[in-house]
Structure 1
Amino acid sequence: MPKTIVVPEGTSKPLAPYSPGTLADGILYVSGTLPFDKNNDVVHVGDAAAQTRHVLETIKSVIETAGGTMQDVTMNHIFVTDWANYQAVNKVYAEYFPSNEPARYCVQCGLVKPDALVEIATVAHIGKK
């Protein structure tokens, strides 16, 4: 099956061998997205809400680059470093998915950089282009 690598304009080089997104058969898989700036440094240190907004805006840019919208999201995989941040993450998350919420799960774990408080990976069905 042919696939298309999706890289929004201005995306920095990933820390590991992966692409921001992969589109195959109308399904977009967005890699785990952390609150990184262009230099792969963590932004909004200590602020789970601001980090969540940054992550979701980054995911949105991948989806839009592939020709979709946030309404096309069908599944989110959410990783938090501390359950104490769960409410802040959910408050911002609800702004991006106010209705017809996608399926999701959330787990507590360590992330690749200690100052990162949240990571989200996404699946979106944007249709065959």
Structure 2
Amino acid sequence: MRQCTATAEVPIAELTIAILAGQGLVTGHQLEEAPGAVRCELGLWHGDEHAAFAWDWEHKPEEALWVRWAPDGGTMRFESLTHCEIEGGADGDACWLYLDHPRDHSWNVSDPEVEAFRRRVLAENAGLLAWLTRKRE
């Protein structure tokens, strides 16, 4: 299933307040890793609100801070949500979305930008790939 492509800018002041409320302390260096914009990480046609990962808690490894916003571009809110962690990906990986997320688990959701990049790299390097995978005598 394709990933939802809804995007939103993250207000850094509100994100900082949410991080401070949940973690108590954050350095300027750590905030450099905070997202300025996010893209919904749920599967297409998920209904309800869009959601994107925003921050890993230092003291709560079983939870993370997520950004959620309405499809109509409504108010953005921040929520600390438990990780889904259901295993089942091709590599045995656990789902990295939040618990009780709608639609498919993360291993079944493909990012259309990553897929387009993969196809472009394969097309641009078809000759090299054929040479590398040729049968050697």
Query: What is the TM-score when the length of structure 2 is the normalising length?
Result: 0.27
Higher strand share: 1
Q: TM-score, normalised by structure 1?
A: 0.28
The structure having more radius of gyration, on CA atoms, is 2
Higher RCO, Cα 8 Å, sep 6+: 1
